[in-house]
């Protein structure tokens, strides 16, 4: 059966290498649901890296990037940014992060930070910021800042982010690119580790507490649009928080759906406003709910309302 889902251990898919990368980082899984949750770290991280490598070499030896099979023609476990059911997982959001019109990124070898402008207009007076944080959200180093001007369809170097002093094998590097008027143009969070198995510290995070509220619903341009706020009320970071639009009665996913952002890293006390939308159809706003669940956190939900 697995072969019919492209889990072929002979051939180009090489799922045993994919599984080994997941197991090495977060340990072996005892269920398919657990494996799927762990897989999103690798999915997001690897796809973001592909597009950020393109950004780093923009117009040097890379004018574009081609993905093979952006989505599959059948239920497949490999080679997709969105799946047969039109669901979007870590791969999609990793790709979308690297493809932002304005983007800030770090080279994960030397941790030099680069600001990217994919638009046709120069960006002047922008600011690049970097924070190094532990898994409780506490700063491990002074915040770095630098003003940059980025030509149209070009990049600009900012600074390097050194590793913190002390024993912090797994920590967060959060980058932000802001407009001269203070608007955030890009926010990018890396989970930086010395060895892949250092990520297993995430398995011990039990004090993240999510709260989701709002779900105000409007009809616009043939779509139902829900606005929610998701917040981490806990004492540690909430990793890879995934929002999902569901039918309240059955609990099933509503597909396709669009999210303004997803797979979030929320620091203690941090909140994010998210919009979710789906085509008008058989669903009434009162039948919909939005759920949020991070890695190792409980699921919370809020009902759609006017």
Predicted pLDDT of residue 79: 80
Question: Which of the four pLDDT bands, split at 50, 70 and 90, describes residue 39?
Answer: very high
Which tens digits make up the pLDDT trace of 89-102? 999 999 999 999 99
| Domains of the chain by residue range | 2-98, 102-204, 210-303
Residue 255 CA to residue 211 CA, distance in Å, equals 23
Which tens digits make up the pLDDT trace of 57-81? 999 988 888 888 888 888 988 888 9
CATH number of 210-303: 2.60.40.10
Residue 154 CA to residue 60 CA, distance in Å, equals 11
Whether the per-residue pLDDT at 104 is higher than 60: the answer is yes
Question: Which of the four pLDDT bands, split at 50, 70 and 90, describes residue 12?
Answer: confident
Whether the per-residue pLDDT at 141 is higher than 90: the answer is yes
Whether the per-residue pLDDT at 211 is higher than 70: the answer is yes
Place of tokens 């996913």: 253
Neighbours of 177 (CB within 10 A): 27
Q: Do domains 102-204 and 210-303 have the same CATH topology?
A: yes
Predicted pLDDT of residue 306: 61
Predicted pLDDT of residue 284: 63
Place of tokens 């959060």: 174
Tell me, yes or no, if the pTM score tops 0.75: yes
41, 199 contact by CB (below 8 A): yes
Homologous superfamily (CATH) for 102-204: Immunoglobulins (2.60.40.10)
Whether the per-residue pLDDT at 286 is higher than 80: the answer is no
Neighbours of 32 (CB within 10 A): 8
């Amino acid at each position: 059966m697995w072969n019919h889902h492209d889990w072929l251990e002979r051939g180009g898919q090489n799922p045993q290498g994919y599984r080994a990368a997941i197991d090495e980082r977060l340990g072996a899984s005892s269920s398919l649901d657990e494996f799927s949750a762990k897989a999103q770290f690798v999915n997001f991280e690897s796809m973001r890296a592909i597009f950020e490598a393109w950004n780093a070499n923009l117009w040097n030896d890379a004018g574009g990037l081609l993905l093979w099979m952006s989505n599959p023609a059948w239920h497949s476990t490999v080679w997709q940014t969105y799946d047969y059911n039109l669901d979007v997982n870590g791969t999609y959001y990793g790709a979308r992060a690297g493809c932002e019109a304005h983007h800030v990124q770090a080279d994960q070898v030397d941790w030099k930070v680069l600001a990217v402008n994919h638009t046709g207009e120069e960006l002047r007076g922008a600011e690049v910021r970097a924070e190094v944080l532990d898994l409780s959200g506490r700063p491990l180093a002074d915040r770095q800042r630098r003003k940059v001007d980025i030509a149209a369809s070009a990049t600009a170097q900012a600074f390097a982010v050194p590793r913190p002093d002390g024993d912090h094998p797994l920590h967060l590097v959060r980058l932000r690119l802001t407009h001269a008027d203070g608007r955030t143009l890009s926010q990018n969070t890396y989970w930086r580790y010395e060895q892949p198995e250092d990520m297993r510290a995430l398995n011990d995070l039990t004090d993240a507490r999510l709260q989701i509220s709002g779900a105000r619903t409007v009809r616009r341009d043939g779509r139902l649009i829900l606005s929610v706020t998701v917040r981490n009320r806990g004492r540690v970071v909430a990793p890879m928080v995934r929002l999902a639009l569901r039918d309240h009665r059955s609990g099933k996913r509503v597909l396709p759906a669009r999210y303004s952002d997803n797979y979030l890293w929320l620091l203690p006390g941090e909140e994010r406003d998210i919009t979710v939308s789906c085509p008008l159809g058989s669903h009434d706003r009162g039948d919909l709910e939005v759920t949020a669940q991070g890695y190792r956190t409980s699921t919370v939900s809020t009902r759609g309302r006017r």
